[in-house]
Structure 1
Amino acid sequence: MAENEHLEKLEVGLNILIEVKSGLFRGNYLSSIVKLIKNQELYIEIPEDKDGKQVKFWPHTKIYLSFFRENEPGAIYEFSENIAKIEELGPKPVIIINFPKEIERIQRRSYVRVDVRLPYFWQKYRVDPDTEEETLVPIDKKGYILDISGGGVMLRSPEKMEKDTFIQTQFTLGDEYFDVRSKIVRVIDRHRGKSSMYKYGIIFDEIQDMIRRKVIGYVFEVERKNIRKQKEVM
C-alpha cells in the first residue's frame, strides 16, 4: 500500500495516542483529532493527565503519535512530529502540528485486544419483579481479567452467572480506578473435577467517553510494548 493511502486514514474524531519520550511532559496521553487541513495541518485536542488537568505542552516538543481503526484489526499506525503551536479552538486548546508526510503501518496477527491478568470486582443487579427497578446486591465478587479492549473484557471467575446479566464492575489499570456498568454477552463453562471455572465475555454497557478513552489508552500502550518486543526478537 502506498504511503499516501495511510494518510487518508486520518480523520476528525479519530482517537490518537500521544507519547512524549523525554523531558517535563514524558508519558502517554490519549486525545483525538478535532480538525485537519489536508497536507497542511493537524489539530489535536489538548489531552488531560491522570488528575483530569490539561497538559500544557510547549511548542517545538517532539511527540510520537499512534492510532488504530476498529475496521482494521491487527494494525497500528505511527508517525511523529514537532508541535508547531498551541491555540484556542472551541472549549479546549488544541495542539497544531504539520500534516505528516509519512505514516508507518505495523501489522499484528491478532485484534487490538491485549492479554492481561488483573483483579476484577463486581456486584450483581437485582431487579424488582413488580417495579422493574434495579438495585445493586451489596456483595462484592472477585475474578480476573484475561484480556481487555476499549469495548469490554474477558473475565475468569468461579462464580456462575447467566448471559445477559448486568453487573457493576470495578478494576484498576495502572493507577486509574474504573467503576463501570457492564453486561455479560458470552459464557464459557470450564469444569475442573468437582469445581467449575467460568469465562465471561463482558461489554461495557454504560461508560463515559473519557473513561473509555483511558481504557483505550491503556490498550494502546500495552499493544505498542508487545509489538516492540516482537520486533526485537525478529
Structure 2
Amino acid sequence: MVKVDFAINKKLEILVDEKYYNTNIQDLTEEYIAISIPINAGQYVPLSKGTIMDIIYYEEENLYKFKSSVIGRKFENIPILLISKPKEIIKIQRRKYVRVPLLKATKYKNLKNQPNINPKTIEKSEFLRAVLVDLSGGGMKVRVSEEIKMNDFILLDLVVNEEDIIIVGQAKRIQKDDEGRFVCGLSFEFVDSPTRERIIKYTFQLMREQMKKI
C-alpha cells in the first residue's frame, strides 16, 4: 500500500451522492482519523455510522484517493466525525500542476513571435479550430491542422465553466499524429495569478469528475 503521512489541518474532500464536500483533519490516533463535518456551499452532509465514502487527501504536490467509513462522532469545541484509516491508498498525482486529459473543442490564433498583441484587436474570424487534449495550471496540449513552429506564441480562447478565458501559450513540444495534424505542448506565458487559479480549480473539477469513474 502507498504510505501517506496524514497530518492535522490537511485538506480532505469526501464524495457523497456525486458531490464533493470539503473537510480537514482535526486529530489522528491509531484507530481513526478525526475530521470536521464535511461541507459544500454552506451545506453539511449527514453521514451515519457505517457510511462508506471515497476520499481525496491533499498533501503538497500530491493527491491520494482512498475509501473510508464513518465509525463514530464526538464534540470538541466543534462537531467531529471519526472515520476509519484506509486499508488501500491510490496515489493520484506527483507534479506541480495536475495535468488532466480531455477532448474539448477550442479556438486559437498563432501569434508567432508577437505575444503582446491585444486580443481585442483580433477578429473572431481570425481564430482557427483546435482540440484541447490535456490541461494543467502550467500549460496544455492542443491538436491543430495548421503548422505551428517551436516557440510560436499561441493565443487561446478557452471556455471554463461557461466563461471565456483568453490566454497565451508558447509551443515547447510539437509532433505530428498519424493523420498529419500537429499536437503541440504549450507552456502558459504572461498568466496572472487569478487566471491561473481559475484554470487550476477547473482542472481539479475535471479530475474529480473523472475519478468518479475509477
- Place the TM-score, normalised by the shorter chain, in its bin: 0.5 to 0.7
Distance, in Å, in 1 between the alignment partners of 2:88 and 2:177 is: 45
Change (3 A) 1:120 1:31: farther
Measured at CA, do residues 109 and 102 of structure 1 come closer, stay the same or move farther in structure 2, by a change above 3 Å? closer
Equivalent residue runs for 1:178-189 within 5 Å: 178-180=163-165, 181-189=167-175
Q: Which runs of 5+ in 2 are unaligned?
A: none
Task: String of CA shifts for 1:63-107, please: whole Å, max 9, x gaps.
Answer: 4212465755xx742133449599x99xxxxx8532542252126
Q: Aligned pair 1:215/2:203, yes or no? A: yes
Pair 1:120 & 2:101 matched: no
* Partner of residue 141 from structure 1, selected from 128, 148, 152: 128
- Which of residues 22, 34, 37 is equivalent to 1:41? 34
Amino acid at match of 2:185: Y
Deviation at 1:191, TM superposition (A): 8.0
1:157 aligns to what?
144
SS at match of 1:216: helix
Work out the percentage of aligned pairs sharing the same amino acid. Answer: 15
Aligned ranges 1:2-21 → 2 under 5 Å? 5-6=3-4, 8-10=5-7, 12=9, 14=11, 16-20=12-16
For residue 177 of structure 1, the aligned residue among 155, 159, 162 is: 162
TM-score calculated relative to the size of structure 1:
0.58
Instruction: Compute the displacement of 1:224 (Å).
Output: 5.0
Q: Deviations over 1:158-198 (max 9, x none)?
A: 243653726343136xxx335333523523042889x7524
The one-letter code of the counterpart of 2:56 is S
Letter in 2 for 1:58: P
Residues 11 and 37 (structure 1), Cα distance of their counterparts in 2 relative to 1, 3 Å cut: closer
**TM-score normalised by L of structure 2:** 0.62
Contact 1:155/1:202 (<8 A) preserved: no
Provide the secondary structure at the position in 1 that maps to 2:40: coil
For 1:97, the equivalent position in structure 2 comes to 81
Q: List gaps (5 residues or longer) in structure 1.
A: 21-25, 49-53, 90-94, 229-234
Larger displacement relative to structure 2 (213-222 or 58-67): 58-67
Alignment of 1:34-113 (within 5 A): 36-39=26-29, 41-43=34-36, 46-48=39-41, 54-60=42-48, 62=51, 63-67=53-57, 71=61, 76-82=64-70, 84=73, 96-98=80-82, 100-102=84-86, 104-106=88-90, 113=99
Instruction: Pick closer, same or farther for the CA change 1:133–1:203 going to 2, 3 Å.
Output: closer
- Secondary structure in 2 aligned to 1:213? helix
Q: Is the 8 A contact 2:27 2:34 kept in 1?
A: yes
